[in-house]
Structures are given as structure tokens and as C-alpha cells.
Amino acid sequence: MAKLTGVAAAALSFASVFVCAQGAQAAPCLDVVLTGTSGPPPYKGLAGPGTLVAYGDEANDCRSVLLQFDVGRGTLMRLSQLDIEAAQMKAVFFTHMHSDHMEGFSDMVQMYWIFGPAQTTKLDVVCANDAKTETGMDLSCRKFVAHINDAYELSGETAYRKAEMKGVVDPAGPVAGLNLITFDPKEEPQVVWSSGDVKVSAIGTAHIPGSVAFRVDTPAGSVAIGGDSSNRIPAPPRKTSSSDELEAIAKGADVIVNTAIHPVLSPESGASTPPPVYYRQSNATDLGSMAQRAGAKVLMLTHLAPPIGASMQGTVRIQGGPLSAADYEKAARDGGFTGQVVVGGDLARVRLPRK
Ligand SMILES: [Zn+2]
């Protein structure tokens, strides 16, 4: 190889420094943030269930691709604490059609329409196809999304705002800014959405018809989000209260997020919880065992029953007094989990890769 001239050598070394600097800047990262952790009723200002997954690089604080999984009450308020607006969201995913996981969506749709890029960029909304219940009714994310603006339409609010904000908002209305993507939940993971390096897959779960768990894979790491998933066998005797499907999709994921009920509410421990109410959730101890089997590094417990500090869960008195985060962590450890336990806490966050 011919000897490089001084100028060429300098240019080459500048180029390699530049490439290195770019490489360093582009170190990918992933944030998993619990945007709400309450049960269905409001409790001490906690937001309703939801999880933000934010992928990017260290230079932009992991904020290239923002994905919201479930949109409980007050989600936008929590996102505002992270300086994130509806306008920045790339896609919303629903684990199931229970109102506590959905009721912040109307807020998000309005704000995306009024302040977002709705005229140029649609917000993807990803959920299961219509599912039949045993009683023959449809649980329909499709209809939920299509009719999310109906009350504002009928009240005249949307028309008034269109006139008031002519040239600013999309005259086609808020729903026109949404791009619905539905899929048939399967027993095996399937990819349901992707963008660049980010891939989201889903698997059907037991909770209500059409329930799914999701998994997000990125170069910075991966997270599985179970929603309210639990075991298909509705009560003991069974191997576990946790979801076999969530366990399958979570295999090898860095982080698992799931709704948790504490064993202090179990009928076996003498609590007056109606058995079907207790058994339809995954208990924190079984989630600990599952996370260990799946090889997760972090288990995030959310949508807690009972909430931390509560003396009652509905009409059920918490035996031994209110629970602390340590009580939840202990329950997960009792299941054999040796990784990090994060007990939600709105805005509890895990960043990947872990340092
Ligand atoms: Zn639910």
C-alpha cells in the first residue's frame, strides 16, 4: 500500500475520530417508565396503568421512538412530568379493553389533534381485532378508537374548535389523525409493529377476550409488558397464577412489567377477598418465580393490589396493616427472583442497557 501523504493521513485520522464520536453519540438506550400504577379506583393521585417505552440514544435521552402501552387515567400528566407531549408519541398499544387501561386515551387523542402533527403524521394505535365474549358480545378496540371522539362531536365541541382553529387542526377531526393497526392474537409471539431498530411483538393472554402481552426488542435491550395477564387456569390447583403466554414472550427479555396482587389478599391467608377476584391476577410471588425462569434482569410490578399504604382494598381490610414497597419486593423474592425488583411507583424507571 502506498504511503499516505501527511494531508491524507490527517484526513483519515480526522475521519476515524469523527466516526468514533458519532458511534459514541449513537450509543442506543431504552427507557421503561411506569406512567401509572394505580388500580381502577383513583388512589392518592396515582395515574391509571400504563408504561412508556422510549428508545433512542444517549445524546437524545432515549427519545427517538416513544411508545405508550395502555393509557390509564392521567397518563398525559405523568408524561408531562417527563417533558413528553402527546404530539411526540409514535404509537399506542392496548393490552386489553378494560376502562382503567384506556381512559386516558381520549385526552391523548384530543391533544394529538390540537397540538400534534395529526395533519401530517398519524398516531399508530395497535391492538387486537374484535373478540367475542362467552356471552356473544364483542370487545372491540376498533370501535373504541373509531368512536373515541363521539361525545365531543355530538356536543359540537369538535366543530366549534375546527372553526376556531381553521388551518391549524385537521378539518377531518381527531380520529382522522389515528392509524389503527389490529391483529389476531396468537398463541405464539408475532411481530405487530416495527420502526427502524424497534420491533414490537404480541401474544394472546388470558384475562378477557382479546387480551395480549407485548414485547419490545431494540438494540439497547428488551421489555415484556403483560397488562393484567394471568394464568388460563382460573384457580388452584395450578402450577402458577402467572401467565404462561407472558412467560413465553418474555423469555430472555431484560425487563418484565406486569400487574401484581400481593399474597396478603389471598383467601389462603385468611383475607376476605372473593376468590375469583384474587385468583384472576398474577400474585407477586408467582411473578418472581416466572421472572427468574424467563431470565429477566428486572421485574417491574405495577397496577398494585392493594396499593402501597392502603389499609383497605375495596371492602377488604389488609391484614397486618398497609403494605410497603419492601413487602412487594419480599413477595417477589419469595418466588426466587434474584434480579432487580422495581415496585411501581408512578414514574419508576429502568434504563437499558443497565450500567
Ligand atoms: Zn384488566
What's the 249 CA to ligand 1 centre distance in angstroms?
19
What's the 207 CA to ligand 1 centre distance in angstroms?
7
Q: What is the pLDDT of residue 224?
A: 98
Cell numbers found for residue 205: 393472554
Q: What is the pLDDT of residue 335?
A: 98
Q: What is the pLDDT of residue 25?
A: 61
Of 245, 332, 242, 256, the closest CA to residue 296 belongs to 256
What's the 72 CA to ligand 1 centre distance in angstroms?
11
Q: What is the pLDDT of residue 243?
A: 97
Contact yes or no for 229/208 (Cβ under 8 A)? no
Q: Rounded to whole angstroms, how far apart are CA atoms 119 and 171?
A: 9
CA-to-CA separations, 14 to 9, 18, 19, in angstroms, rounded: 8, 6, 9
Q: What is the 3-state secondary structure (H, E, C) of the chain?
A: CCCCCHHHHHHHHHHHHHHHHHHHHCCEEEEEEEEECCCCCCCCCCCCCEEEEEEEEHHHCCCCEEEEECCCCCHHHHHHHCCCCHHHCCEEECCCCCHHHCCCHHHHHHHHHHHCCCCCCCEEEEEECCEECCCCCEECHHHHHHCCCHHHHHCCHHHHHHHHCCCCCCCCCHHHHEEEEEECCCCCCEEEEEECCEEEEEEECECCCCCEEEEEEECCEEEEECCCCECCCCCCCCCCCCCHHHHHHHCCCCEEEEEEECHHHCHHHCCCCCHHHHHCCCEHHHHHHHHHHHCCCEEEEEEEECCCCCCEECCEECCCCCCCHHHHHHHHHHCCCCCEEEECCCCCEEEECCC
Q: Within the chain, what is the greatest distance between any pair of CA atoms?
A: 84
What's the 334 CA to ligand 1 centre distance in angstroms?
25
What's the 39 CA to ligand 1 centre distance in angstroms?
9
Is the preceding peptide bond at 189 cis, omega within 30 degrees of 0? no
Of 112, 280, 313, 311, the closest CA to residue 205 belongs to 280
Q: What is the pLDDT of residue 24?
A: 52
What's the 206 CA to ligand 1 centre distance in angstroms?
10
- The whole-model pTM stands at 0.92
Q: Rounded to whole angstroms, how far apart are CA atoms 53 and 109?
A: 19
Dihedral angle over CA of 302, 306, 308, 311, nearest 10 = 170
What's the 228 CA to ligand 1 centre distance in angstroms?
5
pLDDT tens, N- to C-terminus, the chain (355 residues): 344 444 444 454 444 444 444 445 689 999 999 999 998 999 999 999 999 999 999 999 999 999 999 999 999 999 999 999 999 999 999 999 999 999 999 999 999 999 988 778 999 999 999 999 999 999 999 999 999 999 999 999 999 999 999 989 999 999 999 999 999 999 999 999 999 999 999 999 999 999 999 999 999 999 999 999 999 999 999 999 999 999 999 999 999 999 999 999 999 999 999 999 999 999 999 999 999 999 999 999 999 999 999 999 989 999 999 999 999 999 999 999 999 999 999 999 999 999 8
C-alpha neighbours within 13 Å on the C-beta side of residue 244:
9
* pLDDT tens sequence across 261-288: 999 999 999 999 999 999 999 999 999 9
Q: What is the pLDDT of residue 111?
A: 96
What's the 123 CA to ligand 1 centre distance in angstroms?
24
Q: What is the pLDDT of residue 239?
A: 97
For domain 28-352, the CATH architecture is 4-Layer Sandwich (3.60)
What's the 59 CA to ligand 1 centre distance in angstroms?
37
Say if strands 255-261 and 312-313 run parallel, antiparallel, or are unpaired: unpaired
What's the 165 CA to ligand 1 centre distance in angstroms?
37
Q: What is the pLDDT of residue 281?
A: 94
What's the 100 CA to ligand 1 centre distance in angstroms?
7
What's the 140 CA to ligand 1 centre distance in angstroms?
14
What's the 170 CA to ligand 1 centre distance in angstroms?
33
Cell numbers found for residue 345: 411507583
What's the 227 CA to ligand 1 centre distance in angstroms?
7
What's the 169 CA to ligand 1 centre distance in angstroms?
34
Domain boundaries, the chain: 28-352
What's the 96 CA to ligand 1 centre distance in angstroms?
7
